[in-house]
Amino acid sequence: MFDTVLVANRGEIAVRVIRTLRTMGIRSVAVFSDADADARHVREADTAVRIGPAPAAQSYLSVERLLDAAARTGARAVHPGYGFLAENAGFARACEAAGLVFIGPPADAIALMGDKIRAKETVAAAGVPVVPGGRDPGLAEAARALGAPVLLKPSAGGGGKGMRLVRDLGVLDEEIAAARREARASFGDDTLLVERWIDRPRHIEIQVLADGHGQVVHLGERECSLQRRHQKVVEEAPSVLLDEATRAAMGEAAVQAARSCGYRGAGTVEFIVPGDDPSAYCFMEMNTRLQVEHPVTELVTGLDLVEWQIRVAAGERLGFTQEEVRLTGHAVEARLCAEDPARGFLPSGGTVLRLREPAGDGVRTDSGLSEGTEVGSLYDPMLSKVIAYGPDRETALRRLRAALAETVTLGVPTNAGFLRRLLAHPAVVAGELDTGLVEREVDALVGSGVPEEVYEAAAAVRLDALTPKGDGWTDPFAVPSGWRLGGEPRPVAFPLRVTEPVEYTPRGTHTVTEDTVTVTLDGVRHTFHRAGDWLGRDGDAWLVRDHDPVAASLTRAAHAGADSLTAPMPGTVTVVKVTVGDQVAAGQSLLVVEAMKMEHVISAPHAGTVTELDVTPGTSVAMDQVLAVIAPDETPAAPEGTATAAEGAATAPEEPAITPEGAATTPEEPATTPEGAATTPEEPATTPEGPA
């Protein structure tokens, strides 16, 4: 067994691997970029090594620096986690050449299963059913032979990049060209394959374990059909769709897929399954690493998958047979991400001012967070995973909803409230899932408006701050009661802003402490967590700012007759296509802002002239920071001293996921498309940033 293991990753997965290493009595080595110098995984490891500047290409993706860190600390093995280099065959070979054990499958298996075309051909030869399709050359002919609808996919990578659903074969050639451009830009390889599209499918994957002595077992399935923009959102084990016969058949198919590539270690075989005919399952891909959702399998089997990865890598045999694997109870996982559902799920960021992570009976949280953590735009947006277990599915869902309601991450907008509402959706409760459900219901799940009690709580905090403390005489003019000499008290109003400015006059009773604020309105009591200007409850959070109408008026006057384009998310400007003085057309792409592997195109709201441009490529920007100003064509002069323009304009399409310049790729896996079939390795091994 190894005495020291280097964890070549960051965030929650690094923390999770370190936990098992500690349990096994193995010394752990963390690595960190400058941005992660005080990160939780660094503090929890036995030792840690700085490996470079913040950009992943110079740190977490630097094979040379990772191998040097292993040599300097005496590590005998490397655990890659997921994302970054976890599915990089070159990294696995480099570890072997350096005398290190790569805690994962053989490099040849990674390379084979990373090429979706070769993977399908290999498993099909082993008798595993695959989605009907075709490949380059002859892609267009294969697509026409299949008939619409079809799905175009890059062979070399995933994350939803380059995937195109074609329902009209009349535009097939244009869609193929666009998919090739995206694939080439994302992966340096424009090879495509085409597959038959399955409407309203379910995404079910099988966990496998293989040792180096010829034994391969499966550990049952995970249902991963709740997805958004090609990304898994919630996963559970087992699936309510499968009966024992189908489960056994899919498990055996997964075992054969693993054998076909000479697999060793933990891996996942993913299937697309028609909801109306589970027996017609088809292989999509094999992910040659640990999955983000591995905890649900651990909870229903009682096995530590990271421990078995390490034991197998050390040459041990599996300590159990297929017949000894038992699935007991039910587990559900939700991915907590730094994203703002109210802003179209754009990446968020900030400092974690208040943190409360759920625990207790049947609840597990895998997290890389701590109070004071800076969540920036350089890495993947997944912050943690909340997992609940119960004797049955109903109990597991109930416990997970309650756990998400207890989750507090004030300072960084997250999707916790959205996830809680999703888990309460009648179709989810009933187990009537498909890969398009979340997209169809997203508007209702996001919620709308700001509840009055949020403004009441914000006003209560401000009233409390203005109220003199202590015993003795109090100057009546110092009390924010609205009292005045010789007249009726005037109501106290606070100019506040969450999304739109509001003049709010508190009307309830309240109690304010350092960490909470409780208000009672119309006989109903509401309790919020608080930190700075942040308020949170039941997984939702609001940043309630003071609104200065005078400053807003001056801003409007400064840009009278023009529209300010602001950053939709904290990130980095990667592309600037215009200069001051340029004439632009309505909808013209002007800039690109990138954050957490998502690129967002900033477009002109109308035809006009660029009068201000405050950024260049490489500029780091905060959310809502002004990037440029566009003066509209033929705008009449504003009367002197008056404001004629709105404060700002919307900056870009709400849906950034699949644009010619890039695609959204949240935590490791893309899984499937919004409505169906899907496919692609969850996280390309050569992804530029972040542990998927």
Tens digits of per-residue pLDDT, 269-302?
Answer: 999 999 989 999 999 999 999 999 999 999 999 9
pLDDT at 673 over 50: no
Provide CB contacts within 8 A for 558, sequence distance 6+: none
Strand-pair partners of 610: 630
Q: 597: which DSSP letter?
A: T
pLDDT at 523 over 60: yes
The Cα–Cα gap between 235 and 251 comes to 18
Mean pLDDT score across all residues of the chain: 88
Quickly state the pLDDT bin for 66 (edges 50, 70, 90): very high
Rounded to the nearest angstrom, the gap between the alpha carbon of residue 20 and the centroid of all alpha carbons in its chain is 24
Q: Which CATH class is domain 204-447?
A: alpha beta
Domain 4-109 is found in CATH 3.40.50.20: yes
Select from 243, 166, 174, 249 the least CA-distant residue to 206.
249
Q: Decide which of 3.50.50.60, 1.10.150.530, 2.40.50.100, 3.10.20.740 is the CATH code for 559-662.
A: 2.40.50.100
Q: What is the mean pLDDT of residues 435-451?
A: 92
Quickly state the pLDDT bin for 444 (edges 50, 70, 90): very high
The Cα–Cα gap between 41 and 32 comes to 9
Select from 466, 423, 414 the least CA-distant residue to 445.
423
Select from 657, 656, 673 the least CA-distant residue to 225.
673
Q: What is the pLDDT of residues 132-175, one digit of tens each?
A: 888 888 999 999 999 999 999 888 876 567 788 999 999 999 99
Q: In this structure, are residues 333 and 232 in contact, taking their beta carbons and an 8 Å threshold? A: no
pLDDT at position 660 is 29
Select from 655, 665, 661 the least CA-distant residue to 686.
665
The Cα–Cα gap between 528 and 458 comes to 10
pLDDT at 195 over 50: yes
Angle (CA) 615-344-418 rounded to 5° is 135
The Cα–Cα gap between 222 and 300 comes to 10
pLDDT at position 615 is 92
pLDDT at position 417 is 96
Residue found by looking up tokens 């297929």 in the block = 322
Tokens of 642: 């008056």
The Cα–Cα gap between 109 and 105 comes to 6
Quickly state the pLDDT bin for 116 (edges 50, 70, 90): confident
pLDDT at 585 over 50: yes
pLDDT at position 459 is 95
Beta-strand relationship, 540-543 and 534-537: antiparallel
Using DSSP, state whether 608 is helix, strand or coil: strand
User: Could you tell me the pTM of the whole model?
Assistant: 0.84
The Cα-based distances of 232 to 42, 81, 146, 317 in angstroms read 27, 18, 27, 32
Sign of CA dihedral 165, 169, 174, 177: positive
Q: Which amino acid is at 95?
A: C
pLDDT at position 194 is 92
Quickly state the pLDDT bin for 691 (edges 50, 70, 90): very low
pLDDT at position 478 is 60
Q: What is the mean pLDDT of residues 509-532?
A: 97
Query: In this predicted structure, which of 235-244, 340-349, 444-453, 558-567 has the lowest mean pLDDT?
Result: 558-567
pLDDT at 674 over 70: no
Select from 377, 295, 165, 285 the least CA-distant residue to 682.
285
Q: 280: which DSSP letter?
A: G
Quickly state the pLDDT bin for 638 (edges 50, 70, 90): very low
Provide CB contacts within 8 A for 261, sequence distance 6+: 105, 108, 109, 112, 113, 119, 122, 286
The Cα–Cα gap between 522 and 640 comes to 47
Q: Where are the domains of the chain?
A: 4-109, 204-447, 452-497+499-543, 559-662
Query: In this predicted structure, which of 113-122, 356-365, 597-606 has the lowest mean pLDDT?
Result: 597-606
pLDDT at position 554 is 67
The Cα–Cα gap between 509 and 524 comes to 10
pLDDT at position 209 is 98
Using DSSP, state whether 459 is helix, strand or coil: helix
- Total number of residues shown for the chain: 692
pLDDT at 539 over 90: yes
Q: What is the mean pLDDT of residues 681-686?
A: 36
pLDDT at position 633 is 83
pLDDT at position 466 is 84
